[in-house]
Structure 1
Amino acid sequence: MEKNKWNQLILAVSLAANVMVIVTWAITKQLGNSIIDPAYLFKNMIAAAVIVGGNIALGWLYHRRRNHFFIGSVHFIVALMSFIGVGVWAKWFPADLSIIITSVIMFIFIFAIIWIAHYFYWKNQIKKMNEKLS
């Protein structure tokens, strides 16, 4: 599939997901006292939008910069700050210092696992490309 087709597919799926969330919020708002509290749903929609917006900004940064240490550092800081900030604001976890420290440690651990997996994946891909060139 061409790159343009993938971009169109990703855009279509993103728009469909946003429409679905907005429709769900509107229905719960109209129904009043339902299973999903409209205020809670709206707060989580805003939280998700902040996280997605941060990821879009990081994508732009990846496209513009070539210093991988800088990009990785900024990615880590933005992801961590948005996770903690949005998590406390949306009440995904309480604003207790011990819980925030535990959350940061878990975030660092998960981030490191994903980073190491990507490192070895791309190292293997580069090795294959170099073998094809030889």
Structure 2
Amino acid sequence: MKTFLFRSMIGIFFGAFVSVLITFAFIYFGGYETIDSGTFFKNSLGSIFCGWFFSTSPLYFELPFLKLHHQTILHFITVTILFFILSVGIGWIPFNVTSILITAILFIVGYVIMWLCFYLYFKHEAKKLNEELR
């Protein structure tokens, strides 16, 4: 429970930080002099919620009774469902088939790349630790 709460706080703070950075980028680079407070509030809450579930959902990978493929499937289903419900609901993704399919393809490609990077990193670390033990 302590790990869940710690990761929740980190995710919430990271989501809020990303939201502020994106807002600053729109103001500075986009030439906006003012922003709509309702839109800012909605997007900030979405970013905070994304930060939260992307930081807590990797806890699946710490469950020793699940095999790696079960952990991966559970994690993928969780983040995919939450991300798409949030993104369509807030308006980050327009509610039409083309936009949802393009986003789904990009999401899956990004997920696979990130998963492979983490897998190769931890495999390399395990190999290093095994060599040190010998």
Q: Report if aligned partners of 2:53, 2:79 keep a CA contact under 8 Å in 1.
A: yes
Q: Report if aligned partners of 1:47, 1:90 keep a CA contact under 8 Å in 2.
A: yes
Cα distance, 1:64 vs structure 2:
4.5
Cα distance, 1:62 vs structure 2:
4.0
Larger radius of gyration: 1
Q: Report if aligned partners of 2:13, 2:48 keep a CA contact under 8 Å in 1.
A: no
**SS in structure 1 of the partner of residue 106 of structure 2:** helix
Unaligned runs of 5+ in 1: 1-6, 25-33
Q: Report if aligned partners of 2:88, 2:95 keep a CA contact under 8 Å in 1.
A: yes
In the alignment of these two chains, the number of paired residues is 112
Q: Which range is displaced more, 81-90 or 91-100?
A: 81-90
Aligned to 1:70: 70
CA RMSD of aligned residues (A): 2.9
Q: Report if aligned partners of 2:58, 2:75 keep a CA contact under 8 Å in 1.
A: no
Unaligned runs of 5+ in 2: 1-5, 24-32
**SS in structure 1 of the partner of residue 35 of structure 2:** coil
Cα distance, 1:50 vs structure 2:
2.4
Higher relative contact order structure (alpha carbons within 8 Å, sequence separation ≥ 6): 2
Q: Report if aligned partners of 2:87, 2:93 keep a CA contact under 8 Å in 1.
A: yes
CA distance in 2, matches of 1:65, 1:44: 36
Cα distance, 1:70 vs structure 2:
2.2
Q: Report if aligned partners of 1:50, 1:82 keep a CA contact under 8 Å in 2.
A: no
> Does 2:42 match 1:43?
yes
TM-score normalized with structure 1 length: 0.68
Identity, % of aligned positions? 26
**What does 1:10-49 correspond to in 2, within 5 Å?**
14=13, 17=16, 35-49=34-48
